[in-house]
């Protein structure tokens, strides 16, 4: 393959380098992409060398292509057949609970708080300071729990 693949396509490539964070896969002349260690298998990958070696031919799915840097993100686990991506009864990261969340907890925490729109600047500032102090207190409590 001498031209860039399209996002979403599944192609074969050759592993040319292995780094602790992932593998560089050649997709043809002058076209290479990165399979991040989190995209190698549907289970936790401690050492990428346990899953591949330089010279292996691997099937990968093109996740994204950055037009400015021409970096290509690849996934081996997304190239697997759908039924093989998630073995029955096995979760990818044991101990990590998948909950039915509608939003990211960080987004929920940092979303703007509603303040009375008709309040004057001083009142808005007092309300903001109160919310800010509450958040800082919460963060300090978490940090203190972790340090023990």
pLDDT at 16 over 90: yes
Judge whether residue 98 has pLDDT over 60.
Answer: no
Q: Which helix (H) or strand (E) holds 31?
A: strand 31-36
Question: Can you give the pLDDT at residue 79?
Answer: 86
pLDDT confidence bin for 1, thresholds 50/70/90: very low
User: What is the C-alpha separation between 12 and 7, in angstroms, rounded?
Assistant: 14
Query: Is the pLDDT confidence value at 95 over 50?
Result: no
Q: What is the pLDDT of residues 49-92, one digit of tens each?
A: 988 999 999 999 999 988 888 888 999 988 888 766 555 455 55
pTM comes to 0.54
Q: How far apart are the first and last CA of the chain?
A: 55
pLDDT tens digit sequence for 104-142: 555 665 565 555 566 678 888 888 899 999 989 988 888
Structure tokens at 7: 């996002």
Q: Please name every residue paired with 74 in a beta bridge, in sequence order, or none if there are none.
A: 35, 62
């Amino acid at each position: 393959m001498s031209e860039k693949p399209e996002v979403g396509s599944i192609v074969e490539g050759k592993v040319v380098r292995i780094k602790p964070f992932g593998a560089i896969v050649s997709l043809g002349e002058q076209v290479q992409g990165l399979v991040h260690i989190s995209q190698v298998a549907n289970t936790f990958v401690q050492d990428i060398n346990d899953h591949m070696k330089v010279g292996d031919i691997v099937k990968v799915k093109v996740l994204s292509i950055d037009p400015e840097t021409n970096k290509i993100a690849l996934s081996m686990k997304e190239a697997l057949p759908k039924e093989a991506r998630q073995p029955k009864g096995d979760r990818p990261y044991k101990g990590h609970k998948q909950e039915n969340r509608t939003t990211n907890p960080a987004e929920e925490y940092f979303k703007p708080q509603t303040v009375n729109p008709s309040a004057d600047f001083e009142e808005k500032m007092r309300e903001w300071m109160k919310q800010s102090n509450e958040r800082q207190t919460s963060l300090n409590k978490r940090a203190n729990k972790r340090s023990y």
